[in-house]
Amino acid sequence: MGERRAAEPGPFAEGLFTDLYELTMAQAYDAEAMEDVAVFELFFRKLPASRNFVMAAGLADVLDYLEHFQFSEDDLAYLRRQGTFREPFLARLARLRFTGDVDAVPEGTLIFPNEPVVQVTAPLIEAQLIETLVLNQVHFQSVAATKAARCVLAAEGRTVVDFGSRRAHGIDAALKVARTSYLAGASGTSNVLAGKRYDIPIFGTMAHSYIQAHADEPAAFAAFARLYPETTLLVDTYDTLTGVRRVIDLARKLGERFRVKAVRLDSGDLGALAVATRRLLDQAGLERVKIFASSGLDEHEIRRLIRAGAPIDGFGVGTKLAVSQDAPDLDFAYKLVAYAGQPRTKLSAEKIIYPGRKQVFREVHDGMATADVLGEPDEPAPGRPLLQPVMRQGERLPAGRVTLHAARDHAARQLARLPEPWRSLDPADRPYPVRVSDRLNQRLRQLQARMRDARAQRPARPHAK
C-alpha cells in the first residue's frame, strides 16, 4: 500500500519537510508491518484570549504538497548518511506517494475549538509522515487569515492593504500573509511576487527616499505625478500639512491634467492629520482625492480612528498583521483518531481526543450561524456539514481546486453570517456554541472505560530488587 506511479515534482514535494520522529516512527511501523488505514484530524483546542473565531486557511498548499509528495534520491542519500534507517525502509520511501483521502473545511470557513479542520484517511505511514507539513501550513495561514479578517472587519468596508512583507518572518511567510490577507477580504498587497503568484491586486507608489532624493518636495511630487498621473503622493516626509498644501499647489498648476488619486499619511497623529488634510483638500475643491494611512496599524487602531471620525479611506497594515502580534500562534494538533477500523483516543482529562472520524454540523437560522455540533459523520444532526471531500486516493477533487478568489467570496459570506457578539474585536461574553453530540460523547466514554479496564487487567511488573 502507499505506492503508485511517480509524480512530477511540485513546489511542495519535499518529503524531508518533516520531524525526525515521524521518520523513526514510520520505520518502526514498517518493521512491524503496520499497514492498516489510519485517520488523523487537525484541530485546535482553545482560542487565544483576544479571538472569537479562527478563519481556516492553508488547505490549498497542503493539497499541492500531497499531490507531489516524494523523497528524492538526494533526500534518501542524506537519510542513509544518518545511519538510522535501513535499506529496505529507504527503498520503500523511494516509492512512497500519498494515496489517501482528505476531507477539510473550505478555506475561509470560520472554525472553533475541537472542530476538525483537515481530516486525513490514509495508510498509517503516509498519514504520519505528512503531519509536520499539514500543521505548518494550516497553522500559520489560519493565524494570518484571522488577523487579516479582524482588520477587514475593523475597517468597515474601507480599503485594507497588506504592507507587511519586509517584517514578516521570511519570504514564505510574507507570501502567505499576502495570500491570506486577500482571502480574508483585504484589497491586495504591496508584495509584487505575491501579486503574480496568487493573481491578487498590488498596491504602492513611493517611499520617503524618493522625496529625499530630489532637491525639494514640490519637484518630487511634480516628477512622480508626471510619470504616474493617477498616483498616491506621500506627504509626511518633512511636514505633513505642508506636504498636503504642495499637492494642492500641484493641482492648481496642472488644472485638468491633475489626476492624483490620494495622499498617504505615514506618521504622527493620523486621526488629527486626516481631519486637517481632508479640510485642506475639500477647501481646494479636491474632494475626490482620498486619504490613505499607514504606520503601526492593526485592527484596534483602525477601529479607534474610525470611531473618532477620522476621514481615512484606506489603511496599509504592516508589521502587526505580518506577525499577528497579539496572537501569533494557535494550539493546533494533528491527532490519531482511528486505526485499522477502530477508534482511538488518549486517557487525558486535560487534552480530550474525541475518537473516530467526525463531522461538524453548522446550524444557521435567518441567514446567521447560531451553533455547531461535533458529531459522527453518519448521525442525524441539524445543520450543514462543514467537512467536504477534497482528495480521494491521492487525487485532488474539484472541491480541492477552489480558486483563491472563490475562497475569498466564501470567507466574506462566512464573516457576514457570524452574529455580532463573535464578529467583535473584543472577547465575547460567551464563546460561540459548539456542542458535542450524545453519540460522540458516548463513544468517548465507552472507549475510555475499555482502555482503563484493559490497563487494570495487565499483570503488574515485578519490582526491581
Q: Which three cell numbers stand for residue 349?
A: 482529562
Q: What are phi and psi of 396, to 5 degrees?
A: -70, 135
- pLDDT surpassing 60 at residue 465: no
The CA distance from 111 to 97, in Å, is 30
| pLDDT tens digits, 146-156 | 999 999 999 99
Question: How confident is the model over 267-281, as a mean pLDDT?
Answer: 98
The enclosing H or E element of 251 equals helix 240-254
| pLDDT tens digits, 156-200 | 999 999 999 999 999 999 999 999 999 999 999 999 999 999 999
| Percentage with pLDDT > 70 across the chain | 96
Per-residue pLDDT, 4 = 44
Distance of CA 308 to the CA centre of its chain: 30
Say how many C-beta atoms besides its own lie within 10 A of residue 1's C-beta: 13
- pLDDT surpassing 90 at residue 458: no
Say how many C-beta atoms besides its own lie within 10 A of residue 84's C-beta: 12
Are 162 and 317 a contacting pair, CB within 8 Å?
yes
Question: How confident is the model over 343-367, as a mean pLDDT?
Answer: 92
The CA distance from 134 to 120, in Å, is 10
Within a 13 Å sphere around the CA of 87, how many CA atoms are in the beta-carbon half?
Answer: 0
The CA distance from 66 to 133, in Å, is 10
The CA distance from 214 to 238, in Å, is 13
Are 306 and 155 a contacting pair, CB within 8 Å?
yes
Local structure of 270: helix, strand or coil = helix
DSSP 353-408: ---S--EEEEEEETTEEEEEEEE-TTS--SSEE--EEEEETTEE-GGG---HHHHH
DSSP 393-462: TTEE-GGG---HHHHHHHHHHHHHTS-HHHHSSSPPSSPPPEEE-HHHHHHHHHHHHHHHHHHHHSPPPP
| pLDDT tens digits, 302-351 | 999 999 999 999 999 999 999 999 999 999 999 999 999 999 998 876 78
- pLDDT surpassing 70 at residue 394: yes
Say how many C-beta atoms besides its own lie within 10 A of residue 406's C-beta: 13
The CA distance from 109 to 414, in Å, is 6
Model confidence at 462, pLDDT cuts 50, 70, 90, reads low
Average pLDDT, the chain: 95
